[in-house]
Structure 1
Amino acid sequence: MKSGRFGRSISLFIIFFLLMGFSPKNSAFQTMNLIDSPVATQDKDDISIANMKALMEIFQKDGEFSTPETYRALSTHMTAVGHYEERKLYKKAIKHMESFHILLHKHHENKHISNHAANILKEYADALIKKWEAVFDSERVMDHIRELSAGIGPRVAGTEEEKKAAEYLKKQFQSFGYDVSIQEFPINNRVERTLRILTDKNKELPVGAASGSAKTDEHGITAELYYANHGLSGDFSDEAKGKIALVRRGENTFWEKVRNATNAQAAGVIIYDHEESLAPLRPTLNNNSTIPVVGVTKVDGESLREQLSKGSAKANLIIRTHTNQTSQNVVAVKKPSDVTNPEIVYVTAHYDSVPYSPGANDDGSGTAAIVEMARMMKDLPTDKELRFIAFGAEEIGLVGSHYYVDHLPKEDLDRSAIHFQMEMMGAKYEPASYLAFNTVDGEPNIAWDYMNAAFDKWGKDKEKLILFQRGLSDHVPFHNAGITAVCFNMGTANGGLEPEYHTSYDTIENISPERLQFAGDMISTAILDYVADHHPQQTHLKDAS
């Protein structure tokens, strides 16, 4: 039987004989059905650039190339491809191997290489491509993160950006041949807080919610800014009337600042922090204000103050409630053929982000990782049902995953074997070099065994694998439903996260492809080994018809 997309392919037995010094023209080779040997029988670790170049060298010595220029051209191209493989840039390696096909065809068409050598090199090139296509590729992951975080941007639950991200993910899963559905569900009303500086090219600043703030209509308030120092009563003059007061934290309470601004008939208040922080200030008023109030970072507040010192500054401030909001889960399914009641393996992440955060790491990285794993496993022969799910509305209380699990039919719950959740897979933050294995109860489970085996298989330092008791992500509903569940993230040795977490600085510039590759290699290996090894008693093959 011919194997997969290759049809006719060489056996790695060729390489053994080649490296032992035998010639492709040797009679021993003529007696073997080399071209029809299935690639599936080969050890993928032995399919390599080095062995392909060894083939070329033998072909050159035996006159399979009519000119030395042909050998040099093909060998040089393979050396270049090898550099991409060494750097684990598999997407680029595949692209350049496809170019090798074109180069090989050109030389074959010009009769610079024998039919025998051309066929073998073509099949070996295909084998390399197939090998690389089955490897976790951080370059592809970065492409998805870039689209989610920079192309779409913050994906707050219920927004058009979140829906746009869901459509993007749906198309990715569909391109791999999965059966994809969108599961919509209701979420709580969403409060929008927007601050645009009109005199600075409509620049939007991240703002923190002030408890007790008044709301605006959909247009908000548009007014000049007025600097009122600490917001003491003496810091306001008649010029504050109708303007948005910019005040510093300190000297008095948040409420006293707001009350003084209200008495001065200011239209709103922006309070900026007195300490450095990547996240905007979130003032607690302990009272209900009649004017809108927000907080910003020290950096942004001082920038606005500097603008005012040079002239005027104008802003638009909106605080309004959106009702009848919905979010959605993206569910991609691959069912095994000829298997009844297969156990279900879940591989998931959440794709929404907090306000103002591009969510590159939280959780664009996890979402991009499950898309990459879905690509890797699209042709995987297995008796398991694979479900790749991108959850919406995680940041507002695991709403998407709770809805999904709560609406699983009993027969699906009974078949649900294990759940793998991806979170924050690639922060560049130097201390965040540890792969955390998070379970709700803090206990190891069968996935822990497979993760340890993956570290052994790759020869990685097991001190970089740490077990934590932690919920706070979409593995919680699965655990509560009695399904074995784990959540992975890259963090510090004591479970800490990067300083960019939940801020506007969670951008692709702060993502490490090397960390993504490390986490992706370990987790995908554990999942693949589980899928290959674990055979539940309740799975039965259908009777042959």
Structure 2
Amino acid sequence: MTDRSGLSRRGLLGAVAGVTAATALPAAPAWGTDDQRPGAMNRPTLDKYDRQIVSGLSSDRALRHLQVLSEDIGPRIGGTTSEKRAADYLAGQLDKFGYRTRLEPFGVADKFTAEIEDVRDILPGDLCWQAGAAPGGKLDVTVEGPVRDVGPATAPVWPADVAGSIVIADDVAASRPALVAEAVARGAVGVILLPADQVFPRRASAFAPSGLTDAPIPVIGVAQVQKRLIREALAVVNSLPLRISTTAHRGLISNNVIGERRGKSGTNGPIVMVSGHYDSVIGAPGANDDGSGTVLTLELAG
């Protein structure tokens, strides 16, 4: 049994520290080890020992871990209960590998999240519909209404039937207060702010809109892919009713997951550390950032 507030009985120094790192590999991972990385000047140079390490990795095991993190647990926002579930899972795996494991707690900033529900099942259900919530908007509340697109926040075009609706607009930070105030005055129950598209291969992430104070309705910021799908749906249906729920996560504690094991060289040998992060950004299940690195760290630890 491992005491999560301290070290277990299972060994001493040796290797894995962290909140985790890298990328899951296929069964024959030649491309993952030998190919030139995006942005790199040259292909990697691997020695015999490097290839010995690579040959011991299992993509099947890595993908099973990745399924737990990104599908069973899902978004792992720092300090929230889902991130703690991930920390406990990782610590349990390190326990099985024979490491002395412990959780090292530390405080993190408040988080403000939102969930978007499609009342009529029009939007794709296989996408993460988590978003960021404005700390200056209405929190810990659920609203529902049809979507009304007013275009750019700098020059919105208001339809006649805004009352009871959820307004969407292309976000500009300086225009947020005026847009939200006008939406409230017209009877909107919520506002969804849409990010500017980033240049491929980058994509804008969900965000918690700043610059608002005591707005009486929820205001949320979605990701680029969520923006595209909402607008695509509006182009083909007469009505797109959505339900928005916002949550304030306060007084948060995150954890470093640390595993230690004595190396074969004894106390005089080098200390090898492998680290990264297992939390994820708002609005994503974290399969790539950084679930892929987390599961490879587990493979190296095993």
SS at match of 2:178: helix
Give the conservation status (yes or no) of the 8 Å contact 1:241–1:265. Answer: yes
Give the conservation status (yes or no) of the 8 Å contact 1:272–1:295. Answer: yes
2:138 aligns with 215
Give the conservation status (yes or no) of the 8 Å contact 1:206–1:280. Answer: no
Q: Distance in 1 between matches of 2:29 and 2:230?
A: 45
1:168 aligns with 89
Q: Kindly tell me: are residues 227 and 320 of structure 1, through their superposed partners in 2, closer, same or farther at Cα, counting changes over 3 Å? A: same
Matching of residue 205 in structure 1 with residue 129 in structure 2: yes
| CA-CA distance at 1:88 after TM superposition | 6.0
| CA-CA distance at 1:213 after TM superposition | 3.8
| CA-CA distance at 1:241 after TM superposition | 1.3
Which digits, 9 at most, give the CA deviation of each residue in 1:255-292, with x for residues without a partner? 43323212212111113346466224658664533332
Q: Kindly tell me: are residues 215 and 320 of structure 1, through their superposed partners in 2, closer, same or farther at Cα, counting changes over 3 Å? A: farther
Q: Distance in 2 between matches of 1:297 and 1:340?
A: 49
Q: Kindly tell me: are residues 361 and 297 of structure 1, through their superposed partners in 2, closer, same or farther at Cα, counting changes over 3 Å? A: closer
Q: Distance in 1 between matches of 2:225 and 2:290?
A: 26
Alignment of 1:294-305 (within 5 A): 294-297=220-223, 300-305=226-231
Q: TM-score, normalised by structure 2?
A: 0.65
Amino acid at match of 1:304: I
Q: Kindly tell me: are residues 176 and 301 of structure 1, through their superposed partners in 2, closer, same or farther at Cα, counting changes over 3 Å? A: closer
Alignment of 1:368-383 (within 5 A): 368-375=295-302
2:146 aligns with 224
Q: Kindly tell me: are residues 345 and 236 of structure 1, through their superposed partners in 2, closer, same or farther at Cα, counting changes over 3 Å? A: same
Q: Kindly tell me: are residues 178 and 134 of structure 1, through their superposed partners in 2, closer, same or farther at Cα, counting changes over 3 Å? A: farther
Unaligned runs of 5+ in 1: 1-85, 90-130, 376-545
Alignment of 1:5-404 (within 5 A): 87=28, 135-139=55-59, 140-200=61-121, 203=125, 205-208=129-132, 210=134, 213-217=136-140, 219-230=141-152, 235-237=158-160, 239-248=161-170, 253-273=175-195, 275=197, 278-280=203-205, 282=207, 286-288=211-213, 289-297=215-223, 300-308=226-234, 310-335=237-262, 344-375=271-302
Give the conservation status (yes or no) of the 8 Å contact 1:225–1:243. Answer: yes
Q: TM-score, normalised by structure 1?
A: 0.39
| CA-CA distance at 1:192 after TM superposition | 1.9
Q: Distance in 2 between matches of 1:88 and 1:247?
A: 44
| CA-CA distance at 1:336 after TM superposition | 5.7
Q: Kindly tell me: are residues 299 and 350 of structure 1, through their superposed partners in 2, closer, same or farther at Cα, counting changes over 3 Å? A: closer
SS at match of 2:109: coil
Percent identity between the two aligned chains: 30
Give the conservation status (yes or no) of the 8 Å contact 2:132–2:282. Answer: no
Unaligned runs of 5+ in 2: 1-26, 31-50
Amino acid at match of 1:247: A
Amino acid at match of 2:227: G
Moved more, 200-209 or 139-148: 200-209
What do you get for the CA RMSD once the two structures are aligned? 3.7
Which digits, 9 at most, give the CA deviation of each residue in 1:279-328, with x for residues without a partner? 24658664533332223356533533454452322222233322232222
Q: Kindly tell me: are residues 284 and 221 of structure 1, through their superposed partners in 2, closer, same or farther at Cα, counting changes over 3 Å? A: closer
Higher relative contact order (CA 8 A, sep 6+): 2
Q: Distance in 2 between matches of 1:285 and 1:331?
A: 34
Greater Rg over alpha carbons, structure: 1
| CA-CA distance at 1:214 after TM superposition | 0.9
